[in-house]
Structure 1
Amino acid sequence: MRDKDDIENIKIKSFNSTYFSFIENDVALMRKRFHLTV
C-alpha cells in the first residue's frame, strides 16, 4: 500500500515539474515576442 502511494506521489511531482517548466518556457517565448514587437 505504501509503495503504491509513493509511486503516485512521484508521478505527480514529475508531472508538476514538467508542467511548470513548460509554463516557464511559454513565458520566456512571450517575453521574446514582446521585445521584438516593441
Structure 2
Amino acid sequence: MDRVEARLAELGLELPGPRKPVANYVPAVQVGNLLFVS
C-alpha cells in the first residue's frame, strides 16, 4: 500500500476521506437459525 500512496503523492493526487453513511445500516439480521450479513 505504501507504493500506491507514494505514487499518488508523486502525481500530486490525494484521495478523499470516506464519506459518512447516508442511512443507518443493519450489519446482520437473524431469522430462525440463519444469520444474514451484509
Is the pair's TM-score, using the shorter chain for normalization, greater than 0.5? no
Q: Normalising by structure 1, what TM-score?
A: 0.31
Query: In proportion to residue count, which structure has more strand?
Result: 2
| Larger proportion of helix | 1
